A and B are shown apart, each in its own frame.
Chain A
Amino acid sequence: MWRKPFTVMFGGQAGYGIMSAGALVAKAGARNGLWAFVVNEYPSLIKGGLNTCIVSFDANPVKAYEERLDFLCALSQEALDQNYNKLDRGAAVLYDSDAVKPDRDKVPQAVTLYPVKLIGSLSGETAKVMANSAMLGAFCALSGFPIEKIADIMKTGFIKAKVLQQNLTLLYQTFDQTRSLFAEEKTFPLSFQADGNRKMLLNGNDAIAMGAIKAGVKFAAGYPMTPGSSVLTYLADHAVEYGLVFKQAEDEIAAVNMLIGAGFAGVRALGSTSGGGFALMTEALGFAAQAEVPLVIVNAQRGGPSTGLPTRTAQADLNFVVHASQGEFPRIVMAPGDVEECFFETFQLFNLVEKFQVPGIILTDKYLADSSIVHPYFEDGDLRVDRGALVDESWLNDNQPYLRYRAAEDGVSPRAIPGQMKGRHIATSYTHGEDGFYSSGNREYAAQEPEITAAGLDKLFAKVPGILQEIQGVKLHGPQAAELTIIGWGSSKGAILEAITAVNQTGRTVNFLQVLYLSPFPAEAVQAVLQGSKRTLLIEGNKTGQLGAMIRTYTGLSMEEVYLKYDSRPFTPALIIEKIKEVLL
């Protein structure tokens, strides 16, 4: 029922260029009219262990990864041992004849094995650096993937001419050698034709960082934590070019407080981390809310609890993130489902946090953060920066005395920044009145404490209706009316979309309610859809159905069917199709 894309897996030890091989073929495809989805899986190790990179190619955009392989390139024994059961009928297995010994009993029927001397033809360090070129040469010979397209990409990827030449030589040598060993198979089913559309290969973290740059982020701070770090690396790489500063902090507590300082001083600030780092940031999250300092933090989730699984995926920080920090205050939590939303909603979130002077959190995960996709250029011409109630000096001059936290119906007070004339004020983590002062600082002030406290919280929460009005809290994908409505959030979007498209082609109707903004919770929008749903299926990457509980809390509605996956690997279309079938039977 579902035509899966052509899927190739490159596997081998860390350090052998597995991931760059995958990126290379994906780019080669992208420049020649193909679409691709690239998923890296790797343990938290620097050397050794099994690294795999799965690339799925299709003539149409690919939204999710699938583990049924058409082609496996195994540079190490583990790369074959752990993947026998993923080989599809008719699959080809290329393996290093020196390093890998196949177990014939485990090879599925109608799978062909191709032993080729890959690493063994090289010596020492060269083997590591160049093994992937040998592998790609053999892959092209066996699959029919055009070798010159690979060579073209290599030519733009190496800085040193000598290294490039060595790799190209090896690529073609292995290609010729493999051709002489095996009759040409040409299993690659897609034709290469540049379609003139400009496409890029990028992952969720690239898209978030690019969206932040477009939004004018000027300051970023963080402490390295997989899989959140690459947002920061991206910003560090482009800091001088875009006139921004990235500061590596001593820990996440320092990082988030730096963001608050920068936000207070009037620049757009971004941090990026994973659950453990976010845990350290939580006290300051409340401080940002209390002092009404805008900032954005990325939490790229990984398996947990605690240090959990550094390089694997999960959607289990939802409860934590929407409730993080002591006391009560609104924050905006956005969970992008694909790179498109990573880019555009990150841009939008920077506008929102300044308009409402609240902290914002981008809740992504390893699968989205780290998986690359061939995607058209973002059409960003209509994006407009909106800095909300950030005032200028002439406004300040006309509005004296200036009260930073002046009561306002929508909870948003005009914001001055250090350096501006007549805007001096105090921002504080203490409960405070309109001028930022607080009760333990003055006896007269203390007498009004109960009123100031209640008014302060009312002011923070007065922002919620405005936020709900501005966010696109949910998206309904597929037919308006359906036999089954799937509810989910975040990175499972692609797999769910692929699955419902396939199922709907068979004459059944399934739609998908994606909750894009999780806090403040878009209760009315969720309720409007679910009340009209015939049957419901909740899909989440956690053990306890956290979104389901939120829906129950805010709407009183319970999901009828639940599909929870918490084995540290992402949902795939095939798994979801299977579940849909089970529910619709």
Chain B
Amino acid sequence: MEDLKNSYVPTWCIGCGNYGIWNAWKKAFMSLNLDPEQTALVTGIGCSSKIAQYLNTYRIETLHGRSLPVATGVKLANHQLTVIAEGGDGDGMGLGIGHFIHTARRNLDITYLIHNNQIYGLTKGQSSPTSDLGIVTKFTPPPRGNVEQPINIVQTALQAGASFVARSTAADPKLAEIIAQAIKHKGFSVIDILQPCVSFNHVNTYKWYQERVYAVSELSDYDPTDYTKATAVAAQWGDKIPTGVIYAAERMTYESSLPQLAVQTLSIQSIEAIIVTPLMDELA
């Protein structure tokens, strides 16, 4: 565990949900006994993405919304690495929504953790693509507040083809276990992590989430491989919010469909003295 920390103290607000996710991350990592040298963490921009500064693996903190394409490049360059992408709801569902859908469609073996606080925190309180209807923010003033339908991350992930979809909360003692499961899953894994923003979201608080969440495992005979059932459950949002592993299925990963990767990992190939004479012959 010590090896995963570095000397910097996070600048997250006291009580921020990011701390819970940070701790669960480290726990999951230790429980899987992963090698930090063989792990690449790719984040976007925002409070949540700062997690890259406080973990000691290989890390790349990218541009706002662009963690998934960068993670795709990392994974294809070295598919032996454990690749984890991470960021907030604004980052991933705003600028990054297109990348999110296409990455899910591709099913690369990447784990994507979304810190979903339903608000823009680092820019101090604007509405996010997951903000609930009616919520008042700096950019959505009274009387009507937010009038745009929020994105349901779990539902979107399922429809886009993610092969592992889960939801949890920053305070959930089971979060570490879910993260570990997501990392172990071969394919694109998404976890929607409900994370209170203590400074700017005074509606979706720890209490608000606590009163609404329930574990899908409590449902009688819930089968996370059943896509139809999963889509029905995924549609729930409001008084009852499902958590846990909502969907998990085996599907061929993008990288395993590439014959050239089966021969050798790109990043360890020698590039000295490549012969291009056959290419010239083709044009003769």
B264 interfacial by beta-carbon distance below 8 Å? yes
Q: Given A210-B279, A260-B73 in contact, is the A265-B11 Cβ separation under 8 Å?
A: no
B259 interfacial by beta-carbon distance below 8 Å? yes
Neighbouring B residues of A19 by C-beta, 8 Å = none
Q: Is the CB of A219 within 8 A of B62?
A: no
Q: How far is the CA of A126 from the CA of B98 in the complex (A)?
A: 43
Q: How far is the CB of A452 from chain B (nearest CB, A)?
A: 14
Q: Is the CB of B274 within 8 A of A262?
A: no
B219 interfacial by beta-carbon distance below 8 Å? no
Q: How far is the CB of A415 from chain B (nearest CB, A)?
A: 12
Q: What 1/0 mask marks residues of chain A from 400 to 430 whose CB sits below 8 Å from any chain B CB? A: 0000000000000000011111111111111
Residues of chain B from 23 to 59 with CB closer than 8 A to chain A in the complex:
36-40, 42, 45, 50, 52-54, 56-59
Among B76, B98, B102, B272, which residue has the most Cβ atoms of chain A within 10 A?
A: B76
B9 interfacial by beta-carbon distance below 8 Å? yes
B263 interfacial by beta-carbon distance below 8 Å? yes
A161 interfacial by beta-carbon distance below 8 Å? no
Residues of chain B from 79 to 107 with CB closer than 8 A to chain A in the complex:
80-81, 98-99, 102
Q: Given A242-B274, A261-B69 in contact, is the A267-B77 Cβ separation under 8 Å?
A: yes
Q: Is the CB of B98 within 8 A of A261?
A: no
Q: How far is the CA of A442 from the CA of B53 in the complex (A)?
A: 9
Q: How far is the CA of A210 from the CA of B9 in the complex (A)?
A: 49
B151 interfacial by beta-carbon distance below 8 Å? no
Q: Given A245-B261, A265-B78 in contact, is the A426-B61 Cβ separation under 8 Å?
A: yes
Q: How far is the CA of A198 from the CA of B282 in the complex (A)?
A: 12
Q: How far is the CA of A216 from the CA of B61 in the complex (A)?
A: 26
Q: How far is the CB of A20 from chain B (nearest CB, A)?
A: 14
Residues of A in contact with B, size category: 35 or more
Q: Is the CB of B63 within 8 A of A219?
A: no
Q: How far is the CA of A249 from the CA of B98 in the complex (A)?
A: 11
Q: How far is the CB of B283 from chain A (nearest CB, A)?
A: 4
B249 interfacial by beta-carbon distance below 8 Å? no
Q: How far is the CA of A155 from the CA of B67 in the complex (A)?
A: 50
Q: Is the CB of B45 within 8 A of A250?
A: no
Q: What 1/0 mask marks residues of chain A from 163 to 201 whose CB sits below 8 Å from any chain B CB? A: 000000000000000000000000000000000001111
Q: Is the CB of B260 within 8 A of A440?
A: no
Q: Given A240-B260, A266-B267 in contact, is the A287-B73 Cβ separation under 8 Å?
A: no
Among A200, A245, A380, which residue has the most Cβ atoms of chain B within 10 A?
A: A245
A445 interfacial by beta-carbon distance below 8 Å? yes
A261's partner among B60, B260, B264 (CB-CB below 8 A) is B60
Q: Is the CB of B284 within 8 A of A417?
A: no
Neighbouring B residues of A445 by C-beta, 8 Å = 8
Q: Is the CB of B58 within 8 A of A424?
A: yes
Q: How far is the CB of B126 from chain A (nearest CB, A)?
A: 18
B146 interfacial by beta-carbon distance below 8 Å? no
Q: How far is the CB of B229 from chain A (nearest CB, A)?
A: 30
Segment of A96-104, A251-259, A503-511, A564-572 engaged in the interface with chain B: A251-259
Count of A-B residue pairs with CB < 8 Å: 210
Q: Is the CB of B73 within 8 A of A259?
A: yes
Q: Is the CB of B274 within 8 A of A253?
A: no
Q: How far is the CA of A109 from the CA of B66 in the complex (A)?
A: 63
Neighbouring A residues of B69 by C-beta, 8 Å = 249, 253-255, 257-258, 261
Residues of chain A from 245 to 297 with CB closer than 8 A to chain B in the complex:
245, 247, 249-251, 253-255, 257-269, 283-284, 287, 291
Q: Is the CB of A437 within 8 A of B8?
A: yes
B45's partner among A206, A255, A429 (CB-CB below 8 A) is A429
Neighbouring B residues of A378 by C-beta, 8 Å = 276, 280
Q: How far is the CA of A218 from the CA of B267 in the complex (A)?
A: 8
Among B77, B271, B272, B274, which residue has the most Cβ atoms of chain A within 10 A?
A: B77
Q: Given A198-B284, A429-B63 in contact, is the A261-B53 Cβ separation under 8 Å?
A: no
Q: How far is the CA of A39 from the CA of B62 in the complex (A)?
A: 42
A–B pairs, 30, beta carbons within 8 Å: A210-B279, A213-B276, A214-B274, A215-B274, A216-B271, A216-B272, A219-B76, A249-B102, A250-B98, A250-B102, A251-B98, A254-B68, A254-B72, A257-B69, A260-B62, A261-B69, A261-B74, A262-B266, A264-B60, A265-B78, A267-B77, A284-B63, A377-B284, A417-B58, A423-B37, A425-B58, A427-B60, A427-B61, A428-B52, A441-B54
4 closest A-B pairs (Cβ-Cβ)? A261-B73, A216-B271, A265-B77, A257-B69
Q: Which residues of A are interface residues toward B (Cβ below 8 A)? A: 30-31, 198-202, 206, 210, 213-216, 218-219, 221, 238-240, 242-245, 247, 249-251, 253-255, 257-269, 283-284, 287, 291, 377-378, 380, 385, 417-430, 437-438, 440-443, 445
Q: Contacts A266-B77, A417-B78 known; list 20 others, CB within 8 Å.
A: A216-B274, A218-B269, A219-B73, A244-B260, A254-B99, A261-B76, A265-B74, A267-B77, A267-B266, A267-B269, A287-B63, A291-B60, A378-B276, A385-B272, A419-B37, A425-B58, A426-B53, A428-B61, A441-B50, A443-B9
